[in-house]
Structure 1
Amino acid sequence: MLEKLDTVGWGGLTHAFGTAEEIPAFITALRAEDPEARGDARDELWSSLLHEGRRYQADVHTVPFLADLAADPFTFDRAAIVDLLTAMAIGSDHPYLLTGFPIERLRPSPDAVDESWHLLYSEWSGHTAGDPPGDLDELRVYDAVRAELPRLVRLLGDSDGAVIEAAAYLLAWFPEAAGDTVVPLLAVAGQRGWRRDLRVSALLAAGLAARGPVPESAVIASLAHDEDPEVRWAAGVAWTLTAGATVPEEARAVLRERAGSGIGPDEPVLAPWGLTRAEWSVRLLEHLGDPGAAEARAALVRSEATRQAHGPWAQRLGEAFYLAFGDDGRSSPLRYADLTPAQRWLVDHLVRHPDALVAEPDEVTELLRWYGLPDSHPALSAYAA
């Protein structure tokens, strides 16, 4: 399996911290009996090959060996290896959860591919991603992982649920291979006796990989009537991703229902996707330009701001402010009349609760200043009036 490790000229390749002579030892250590040694090797590979989200020359040559290990049922921690391959292929998933991975934007002009790749991050985050690298490492690594998909798609039939979920998540980001991946992903989603999280991830992955109408769209629509409410929600997301603005009211209603229920007190972030179901639903409705999107976000903010009846105000309000205003600070406030329903409700909520500014003046004032809002209760009341 790893017999060809020594045939690669690792000393002539670079990663984040220099030349790559030590990469073969890290790869070999992924098969060690000692779990601590395996964990240390994975950490070294993550930091060397994905430092600050960038990819490097050594990454491309590492991909086939990681795929070898992931495909071997005797390898330890295969799900973690598949997760590493996913991160090497696309970096962070956050920019692409509403649209799928836009590989078509990165292929037309190879000379500008790295600039385009970093532009995608800038468009999503609102921040400049820094100077793009001078070569094509991101695209090369993406295509190296894509070349391994025939082996990796077979992991959907694995006996290890963690491996199945990791493989589904990886397959989500390769729309060019949708003809080979959507059917097996939906086969997992349709297994009613299987674990809920596997079915949900497979459905979400199918929608992101397809990114448009596919012959299997009827299968996705049928799963919107599944007996499991979480599977129904995932089908609504996948249906929306494949149908876009033409998605019927039935799927939109599924998203509105989830968005309107807010983030429950025990609802975790949906692994491995990094969002709660409620927030993903709201974002999709906004992406569609759905008439109910603004009220859906307001409902989400209300539920988040009020779900803790006790505890520090800044802790209770921090996530609500993020959901209402985003992550970027402002130097001056919008006019109250120009606030969204979610933002307006949050301002009014603080006007109704002057004790928030009395009990924790420094922490809550800092929140208000970050978003360019008046930082005292009299000023905030006057602003809202």
Structure 2
Amino acid sequence: MARLLRREKMLALILYGLDEIDWAALEHAYGAAEDVPGLLRAIAVDDDAAEAVGDLDTRLLHQGGFVCSAATTALPYLVDLAEAAHVTARPGVLELIGRLAEQGGMVHDRHVDPGWAAAWSAAVPRLLALIGDADVAVRSTLPATLSRAAGEADLVVPALRERWRDDDDEAVRLALILAAGELGPGCTVDVLPELLIWLRDLSGHAEAQTRLAAAIALTRVVPSHRLGADLDTLTRAVRDARLQVWGDVPWVTAYPVDLLNDSDGTPTRVIGWIDEQFGDDVTSRTDFSLTFLGDRDGDRRMGAVRAAAALLATWRSPVQRLLPAIAERTTDRAGTARAYATHVIAAIGDEADDHVDLLAARLGDDRRLSRYSEERISDIAAWGLAWRHDPRCLPHLVERLSGPNLGYGTSRVFSGADRPFFYSTDPPAVQEVLGPLCDHADVLLPVIRDRLRGPDEGRTNGTFGGVHQALTDILEQWGEASAPAVPELIGLLATDRHLYAVKALAAIGPAASDVAPVLRKSLRRPSDEPADEESVVLSWAYWKITDDPEPVLIAIGQETGRWSSYLADLGPLAAAHADRIYDLLDGADARERINAANTLFRITRDPTDAAETLRDVVHSLTDDRYRPVIWEALRYLADMGEAAGHCDLVLREALASDRRHYYYGKWRRLAQDQEFRRLATRILAAT
């Protein structure tokens, strides 16, 4: 009872007025904010306060891109919690406040609650009062939160400098320097000169880590200051025995790392974080990575090879200097270094063809890629060989397909490219790895057929993904070469995977004629009702297998736009739809326009209007806007020969660029750049 009373008293003191707010009228990422008060209370008194902070983070921030009304109203209470000495999750609360403030200063005003700016300005003095808090974890976290207070820079920066003089914790002192640097651009002439003098003085400090922090802070305050000029300072700091202090500095601890080793990853994080500070200074980034790629310390080599991988996935010019050093790391004693090096050799395509034997040498490397998956370095090596049509990958792939773990996911994953300085060792999905191996279908088909007769593992929510879906995707890519698997595909027609099986049977074509009687029974009859996907796919497959187009034309009816990809496949047989397809060329949606352009060309074989539509999409490259539709437009243009002309200048300029062309992240950056250059070269050769 006494404990309960103490709990209620604490809640009353630090969350005063919480229940007087109409939280149901406020919104967060998941809708009405009625659950926010309970989470704030849990942070205040529960033993699992950190979990409650995570839940609140999910609701108020989700994946970012906005500041919701619930965040504005919750902010004063979050500051209450940060001030309360008994709250165990105070550092986590400060991190949440900082992330909210970051979004408030980064996203467009229309995505920020109107009251946020005033609430944040009111919170800053209260947060600043915590700068001398007794809890060192609070003091080391706070500077990163305050670094978002650009509008109050003149208030915050002098306090940071004063606290740096008095604080005896090295991690806190480093964080204070970095925060001052972040706020420097917002300072007026009343504060800025003294900040610059202070940072320049710190650049000559006796402590190597202080010199490192000052060098990076100066690049924030003085845009013309090149971090590359401080390469010696950076190198000495990374090799300094006191580097581990960065393990308590938010800027570094927030840097993602996927290590599977016995270290805490601090050197790896620090190297990756420093690499990011160079920005587009490719030469300095290359020099920095080369400095540590051959280092005797495994953690530093891991950081260097990961930074080099991110660099090569963004720029082409460092390949000649970096690739030999990365190739040496494929035999590194440190498993993470081997993984990243092998991944780069696999993903970078023909730029690494001279090193293909190194991939074959890693087929026996069973080092796991992370704590959370069963993928191995050997799986990366097999993928790299598969994409080069190298048969040395086949025994490994057959073994994987036969075992409990495929070595690859069963669903394609597309991540954003908003972190160009981050590279991971995630491999492609199994259908992306095996797709290019049509010439070796005879070796792989027996084990694929066995898996199709077995259970369908790996689904998400019972429907998405799964082994059977991935394997039918492979068979669809292989087309007629998949004919021996027709019996297994027919067996899937009675399951909820039947449409995937039908698409694979359609790709096989006449060799799948055994299924024609089954499909015939399901064909759509003439009707005024709109067709659904199943009726169109079944009738389209029937045409691919029997050469009878009437059922699919009946199923599509007048719904030209929705089923344009099937009409494109029909070609001249869909001539009756040409006029309606033509009208779609002026649609508002870019993907609809390019699909219509391809369909029109496939039906009429006249590229005139279709090519113009596709060229308009490609010309958006001049605005430095990358969208997936650009690649689709290039694929269609590449089939139009001379008609693809009039975008020569844009494509030649893109090919001359050192920057890689991509829309998605991770290994897809390299794959998309290779495809872009291959298609652009083909188009230019034709025109």
Q: By the TM > 0.5 criterion, same fold?
A: yes
Match of 1:44 in 2: 55
Q: Which residue in the other structure is 1:216 paired with?
A: 195
User: What does 1:1-385 correspond to in 2, within 5 Å?
Assistant: 1-32=14-45, 34-36=46-48, 38-53=49-64, 54-91=66-103, 103=105, 113-114=109-110, 135-137=111-113, 140-191=115-166, 194-211=168-185, 213-245=192-224, 247=225, 253-258=229-234, 271-273=249-251, 274-275=254-255, 276-286=269-279, 293-303=281-291, 305-306=293-294, 320-326=308-314, 339-340=316-317, 342-349=318-325, 350=327, 354-360=356-362, 361-364=381-384, 371-372=670-671
SS in 2 for 1:27: helix
Flag the 1:264–1:231 CA change in 2: closer, same or farther, 3 A. closer
Q: Conserved in 2, the CA contact under 8 Å of 1:298 and 1:324?
A: no
The answer on whether the counterparts of 1:301 and 1:324 sit within 8 Å (CA) in structure 2 is: no
Shift of 1:285: 4.3
- CA RMSD, Structure 1 to Structure 2 (Å): 3.7
In structure 1, distance between residues paired with 2:59 and 2:276: 33
Deviation at 1:189, TM superposition (A): 2.6
Counterpart of 2:250 in 1: which secondary structure?
coil
Gaps of 5+ in 2: 1-13, 256-268, 328-351, 363-380, 388-426, 428-666, 675-687
Change in Cα spacing, 1:370 to 1:309, as seen in structure 2 (3 Å) is farther
CA distance in 1, matches of 2:247, 2:319: 23
> For residues 287 and 81 of structure 2, what CA distance do their matches in structure 1 show?
46
Q: Which runs of 5+ in 1 are unaligned?
A: 92-100, 107-111, 115-134, 288-292, 327-333, 375-385
Task: Tell whether the 8 Å contact from 1:175 to 1:209 is kept in structure 2 after alignment.
Answer: yes
Structure 2: distance between partners of 1:214 and 1:315 = 36
Q: Displacement, 1:178?
A: 0.9
Report sequence identity in percent: 22
Q: Is the 8 A contact 2:184 2:195 kept in 1?
A: no
Q: CA deviation at 1:172?
A: 0.8
Highest CA radius of gyration, 1 or 2? 2
* 3-state SS in 2 of match to 1:190: helix
Q: Distance in 1 between matches of 2:112 and 2:151?
A: 19
Q: State the one-letter code of the partner of 1:234.
A: A
Structure 2 letter corresponding to 1:240: T
In structure 1, C-alpha distance between the alignment counterparts of 2:87 and 2:668, rounded to whole Å? 51
Amino acid at match of 1:220: L
Match of 1:132 in 2: none
How far apart are the structure 2 equivalents of 1:8 and 1:240? 44
Q: What corresponds to 2:534 in structure 1? A: none
Shift of 1:255: 4.5
Q: Deviations over 1:149-194 (max 9, x none)?
A: 0110111111111111221111111222111110111123334x61
Deviations 1:277-302 (A, max 9, x none): 44444444456xxxxx4442113333
With a CA cutoff of 8 Å and minimum separation of 6, indicate the structure with the bigger relative contact order: 1
Partner of 2:451: none
- How has the CA–CA distance of structure 1 residues 52 and 355 changed in structure 2, closer, same or farther, with 3 Å as cutoff? same
- Residues in 1 aligned to 2:306 and 2:277: alpha-carbon distance in whole angstroms: 23
Q: What secondary structure is seen at the aligned counterpart in 1 of 2:194?
A: coil
219-228 vs 1-10, which deviates more?
219-228
Letter in 2 for 1:31: A
Distance in 2, matches of 1:136 and 1:238, equals 28
Question: What letter matches 2:55 in structure 1?
Answer: E
- What is the deviation of 1:252? 5.8
Residue 58 of structure 1: how far off its partner (Å): 1.0
Change (3 A) 1:306 1:142: farther
Structure 1 residues 364 and 262: alpha-carbon distance in aligned structure 2, compared to 1, 3 A threshold: farther
C-alpha distance in 2 between matches for 1:220 and 1:172: 16
* Bigger Cα displacement from structure 2, 39-48 vs 317-326: 317-326
Contact 2:147/2:180 (8 A) holds in 1: yes
Residue identity matched to 2:202: L
Note closer, same or farther for the CA distance 1:241–1:158 as it changes in structure 2 (3 Å cut): same
Q: CA deviation at 1:146?
A: 2.8
What is the identity, as a one-letter code, of the residue corresponding to 2:73? H
Cα distance change of structure 1 residues 235 and 87 upon mapping to structure 2, 3 Å threshold:
same
Letter in 2 for 1:272: P
- Cα displacement (A) at 1:55: 3.1
Residue 75 of structure 1 and its aligned partner are, at CA, apart by 2.7
- The alpha-carbon distance between structure 1 residues 347 and 254, as it changes in their structure 2 partners (threshold 3 A), is closer
Which residue identity does 1:14 align to in structure 2?
E
Q: 1:159 to 1:255 in 2, by over 3 A?
A: farther
Cα 1:316–1:162, aligned 2, differ >3 Å: closer, same or farther?
A: closer
C-alpha separation between the residues in 2 aligned to 1:21 and 1:69? 19
- Count of residues paired in the alignment: 313
